[in-house]
Each structure stands twice: as structure tokens, then as C-alpha cells.
A = this chain, B = another copy of it.
Amino acid sequence: MNKSLCVGVDVGGTKVAAGLVDSNGEISAQVRVPMVSNSSADEGLNAVLSAIAQVIPRGTDGVRGIGICAPGPLDPDSGVVLNPPNVPCWRNFPLAESVQERHSVPVKVDNDANAAALAETRWGAARGYQNVFYATIGTGIGTGIVFDGKIYHGRTGSAGEGGHVSIDYRGPICGCGKPGCIEILASGTAIAQRARQEVAAGAKSSMLELAGGDPASITGEIVRKASESGDSLAAKILGETTEMLALWLSNIIDLLDPEVIVIGGGAAALYRPFLGKLRERIPQFTVNPRADEVPIISARYGADSGIAGGAALCA
């Protein structure tokens, strides 16, 4: 076996995914097991151990380490999961230590966006860069900051929560308590919700038909499809959220002046036709005279970013 292989584990509220990742970031031997997140801490742990065992049937002898993306908040130094809303069975749970008891290799734990930022830096779209801002746009918006090739954790491990940077102090209140976080304005969830509200209020749009006549069934994917077919409401919504993203990323550039911005996540596809507009708007929104030079590029990893991210923690 090759010592350059790492195990990457991605723990969610309903499933655990794991895989082997080589020194080029290629993923093999992927598995997926169910996670029962509201039972006992040990059952949750067993799901993780089972996924790991399936990707390394002959043990960890030939493996460099195990990296786990776990729901936050967590302490990346100690590998303790604090009180994740998505996995309530783990309260102050020493995840890294518990896995290390079974496998005598280094075990690292971090949150998914941080880990994915590192995977993109090591093996993906940001390869060759040292200072990277990574955003994953899905049901929420997560971000990770890489400085000097390493995840930037801040004082308590809670840095890099860029999805909770507000651009609207008079906006809707986010779960974090802040009004107008970019997550609540421009995530996949936010886009779908906006379309649902406008259509339910009577706005004319092909999205109603695409959703089978029920406004409540409009998804982000439907907004994307409708926009591509020339639906003006869908295009207007995506145009407006693109403008918000541009403002938010210009905040990031003025504060951090990163070498590159990488965008991933399940809802990133909604923005793909608007990347040109995003690149055009950002320099108009910053004091940085060279903001137009910052590449804004699509992530390498998609649904498997958690596996790659986990592995990157140990690579």
C-alpha cells in the first residue's frame, strides 16, 4: 500500500461518506453509510468507524492519516465536536481521539468549508496559490480561508465564517442573529425562496409551470433552468443575487486581498452563467486598484469536497 494515501471522511446529519485520496487528490474506494445523528454518541461514532473500515479493509498500516469533516462548531486543535445542531448526539464529543483509539494514525477534524478550501489549494482550482478564499454555495454559504498554505482558524477555530458576513444591516435575520448575512440573501435556499415568494404573489414566470403549478415546489434548479430559457423573473432574481455576491466578495477583497477566489457547492451552478458579470462588478466595488486581477474560478471538487477536504487535513 502507498503511504501517500489519506482517508477522507465527510460527516453529515444523515450520512457519512468516506474515500481514499492519493497525493494528486484523486478519490477512490468511496463509500457512504447512514448516520443516525440523534441517537447515542457511540452510534454516531460507529457510523464513522464503519465507513473508514470499508475504505481500508486491510487496516491503516499503509495510510498516512484520517481527516474528518464534521459539523461545527468544533475545536480543530483538539478534534472535539462542540454542539452541532445537525448531529445533536455529539455534544463536546472527542471525535479525533475516539477514532485515533482504533487507528494508530494521525486523525484531524475540521469543518467542511475549511477542509474543502485546503483541498482546493492542495489539489484543486487553487493549486499553486498560498492565500485562498473559498466559498461553497449550497443550502447555505460556507467559506474557508487559507493563508500561507494553511487553514486560517483564528483565536478559537471559528474564523472563516464568511457566509455570516452581512451586507444588509436592515435585512432578514439569520440564524446567527445578524441581519442580512450573505447566506440568507444569496444561498441556493435564498434564491429558491425568493422565487417562490414572487411567484406566489402573482408574478408571471415559467417557473410556475416547471414546478408543476405549485409555487412552493420551486427549487434553485428550477430558477436556473427558467433563467437559461429566458424567463425574466428568474434572470432578475439571479442578477440581483449576483450583485449581492459581487458586493460581498469585494468586501472580502478589501479586507483580505486574496490571491484567488474559488467558488464551489451545489448551488454554484446557478451562478455559473453570471460569473462574467461577477468578475466585471467586483472591481467597481473595491478600493483595491488591482482587484480585477484576482481570479474567480470554479472549484474542482463537487459533492465529494468533504472527502477531499478531510484527506487534505492529513496530507
Footprint of B on A, CB under 8 Å?
73, 82, 131, 145, 147, 152-162, 164-170, 176-180, 243-244, 247, 250-252, 254-259, 284-290, 293-294
Given contacts A154-B258, A257-B155, A258-B155, contact A251 B289 (CB under 8 A): no
Interface of A is mostly: loop
Cβ-closest 4 pairs across A and B: A154-B257, A159-B257, A161-B254, A176-B287
**CA distance in complex: A177, B50 (Å):** 53
Of A161, A243, A286, most buried by chain B (CB within 10 Å of CB) is A161
Contact A164 B286, beta carbon cutoff 8 Å: yes
Given contacts A158-B289, A284-B177, A285-B178, contact A247 B164 (CB under 8 A): no
Instruction: From the candidates B167, B177, B284, B294, name the one contacting A285 in the complex (CB within 8 A).
Output: B177
Q: How many copies does the complex hold?
A: 2
Contacts of A156 in B (CB 8 A): 257, 288-290, 293
Contact B287 A159, beta carbon cutoff 8 Å: no
Contact B169 A167, beta carbon cutoff 8 Å: yes
Contact B244 A169, beta carbon cutoff 8 Å: yes
Contact A131 B158, beta carbon cutoff 8 Å: no
- Give A257's nearest chain B residue, CB to CB: B154
Contact B259 A82, beta carbon cutoff 8 Å: no
**CA distance in complex: A251, B73 (Å):** 17
Instruction: From the candidates B155, B161, B178, name the one contacting A247 in the complex (CB within 8 A).
Output: B178
**CA distance in complex: A269, B73 (Å):** 36
**11 pairs across A/B with beta carbons < 8 Å?**
A73-B289, A147-B147, A157-B257, A159-B256, A165-B251, A166-B167, A166-B247, A169-B243, A170-B170, A176-B286, A178-B285
Return A140 CB to nearest CB of chain B, in Å: 11
Instruction: From the candidates B153, B176, B287, name the one contacting A164 in the complex (CB within 8 A).
Output: B287
Given contacts A164-B254, A169-B168, A250-B178, contact A155 B259 (CB under 8 A): yes
Contact B159 A255, beta carbon cutoff 8 Å: yes
Contacts of A290 in B (CB 8 A): 155-156, 158
